[in-house]
Structure 1
């Protein structure tokens, strides 16, 4: 596990597929404090990653030439952004099947013990990442 310092985290709304003034403001402040642009940004979902690419591009920062952007979810929109978004694919259908199975079992036999189930993800490399 990697611990990312709070000073290197930015926070934005996850539901907007356009650039965000709040992200521009945070990036401008981040860079004006003498910090260098990171070589990569990992976003908690593809919506934020798409917004980050749009915002970085509007600020004149080239993705992936100056910094890479990686999302999480592998949504359909990740294929129509330029550059296409590198992301982590989550097996959502498999997660749903497992959740229904656990719920059905709990209804039939009553609640037992808690279970932890791991569902694999896979890295989907596209064009929003490059070697620094």
Structure 2
């Protein structure tokens, strides 16, 4: 009986730890050298589809390719990249490619970079 109680305790502890990785609005994560900030997490309800959005924040890449969608590091959510954040930084970048899902470019976008070309997909 003690073994069963111990195993149940361990199982509950593992479930608690696995939920600690959940993202919320304003959390940031990095994928493929680009950092993103979560701007919207709206689960599906009343016939409205789920909406998960992020804003591009920064990149360490020399050629920045912002994808239309990006998965978080734990592959729990797939986010639409809909914005380029205020004071986003690309210190090493010379070119940027943006998806057509971008609907907002905030002030001082691509700060600190030597951008010589920008394009959209």
Q: How does the TM-score come out when normalised to structure 1?
A: 0.29
1 or 2, which has the higher helix percentage?
A: 1
Greater relative contact order structure (CA < 8 Å, 6+ sep): 1
1 or 2, which has the higher strand percentage?
A: 2
Q: How does the TM-score come out when normalised to structure 2?
A: 0.31
